[in-house]
Amino acid sequence: MIDLTLPLTDIHRHLDGNIRAQTILDLGRQFNITLPATSLDTLIPHVQVTSNEPDLVSFLANWDLGRKSSGLAGSLSSRCV
């Protein structure tokens, strides 16, 4: 039985889709990652889906920078253990 009074929850989320744009910008600056923008306002359209995309490839392209920065952060954290 489904209890409709319970709050909804997000049960499936990918880490690279949840990296704050500011974090991507900070990591880009810190580790000289080439980004398509130099300010938060101009970076957001490149890392967040802000409108309907015409196809899947365009939709997924918004996560490319997140994956690059999360991979960098992950490799650095493994060296700090």
Evaluate whether residue 9 is within a structural domain.
no
Q: What is the mean pLDDT of residues 27-31?
A: 87
Residue 23 and residue 70: Cα distance in Å, rounded?
9
Number of domains in the chain: 1
Evaluate whether residue 4 is within a structural domain.
no
- Residue 80 identity: C
Q: What is the mean pLDDT of residues 52-62?
A: 79
| Residue 37: band (very low, low, confident or very high) from pLDDT cuts 50, 70, 90 | very high
Evaluate whether residue 31 is within a structural domain.
yes
Structural domain containing residue 40: 15-79
DSSP 3-52: -TTSPP------GGGS--HHHHHHHHHHTT---S-SSHHHHHHHHS--S-
Residue 24 vs residue 18, higher pLDDT: 24
Residue 73 and residue 81: Cα distance in Å, rounded?
13
Evaluate whether residue 46 is within a structural domain.
yes
In contact, 47 and 12? CB cutoff 8 Å = no
